[in-house]
Structure formats: C-alpha cells, structure tokens
Amino acid sequence: MIKTHANANLVPNTPKVKQKMTSSLQAMRDLLAEDKRYKLDAYQFIRESLQYAHEHMIGELAEDESGEKTGPRHVTGQQLCEACRLYGIEQYGYLTKMVLDNWGIKSTSDFGDLVYNLIRIEQMRKSESDQREDFNDVYDFEDAFEPEFELSVKDED
C-alpha cells in the first residue's frame, strides 16, 4: 500500500510532516542512486498502476470481522502485473513496451524489483503471504502489449 496523501492541502504544515516528506524524498534519491536500472518514472508508474488496480480491478474496501471498512483490499503480485499491463496500454497504447523499456522495465520481474525496492524504503507495504517471486514470468512482455484486434465476419444472405 502506498503511503501518499491524496490532497497536499490537507496535510498539516508541521515540522514532523516536513521531516517525514524530506526523509521520503531522500530515501527515493538514495534508491535511484543505488539501483540505476530504473528511472523515477518507473516507480511512479508502479504507484499509478497500484491505484489503477484498486480503482478498476479490486474494487471494494477490505473489512474486518465486525464488517468495519479497514482500507483498500490487498493486491497480489500477479494482479499488480496485470494492472501494469492494462494501465500501460490505457496510457501509452502501442508505445507501452517502448516506454517501459526506456524506464528499464523489460519483464514482470522488473515490476517485482520495483515494488520490493519501494517496500525496502517504506513507500509500499506487503502482506505476510507476498513474495518477490510472485512477479516472475506473469506474462510475456513480447506479446503482452500488442494490440488485440477482433475480427468479425459479415454474413451475406
């Protein structure tokens, strides 16, 4: 789960909030310097794809035993990979594979590396059942972003 604020105007302007935001930015800078495989855009894409998964694939909020809403439902590694595929096609169309490649993303394994890098710097969380391997070989990048055409045959009477 990404720890971000939907509206910056709602965030109190206190030293503690500023310190947390500064430490998050520094953690991201350090991550980009440490792991040069991926561009900042790749991390933003993962965050946006997670949001896309919640809005278009997962839907309802999770509930506890009493039926109280506890927050967004968990997204598995495979679901996030599919959300990345769908969101990428929605945003970039035929160019999706080329855009992702430019950011250093060449397989679903890269999605996993990005997610686990964000988990390591506490920008995302994982459940106990999540594993890095959940992202391996979810689909073939060579075919996943190809446009799908539907053929229709016209009956002639």
Mind listing the pLDDT tens digit for each residue in 124-133? 999 999 999 9
Torsion of CA 100, 105, 108, 109, to 10 degrees: -170
pLDDT at 20: 60
Residue 139, Cβ density class (10 Å: 0-12 exposed, 13-18 middle, ≥19 buried) = middle
Report the C-alpha gap between 20 and 70 in whole angstroms: 24
Residue 123 predicted with pLDDT over 80: yes
121 and 27 in contact (C-beta within 8 Å)?
A: yes
Q: What is the pLDDT of residues 9-57, one digit of tens each?
A: 444 556 665 566 678 889 999 999 999 999 999 999 999 999 999 888 8
- pTM listed for this prediction: 0.75
pLDDT at 4: 40
DSSP state of 57: I
Segment 14-17 long-range contacts (CB within 8 Å, at least 24 positions apart): none
122 and 27 in contact (C-beta within 8 Å)?
A: yes
Q: Of all residues in the chain, what percent carry a pLDDT higher than 70?
A: 74
Q: What is the pLDDT of residues 84-112, one digit of tens each?
A: 999 999 999 989 999 999 999 999 999 99
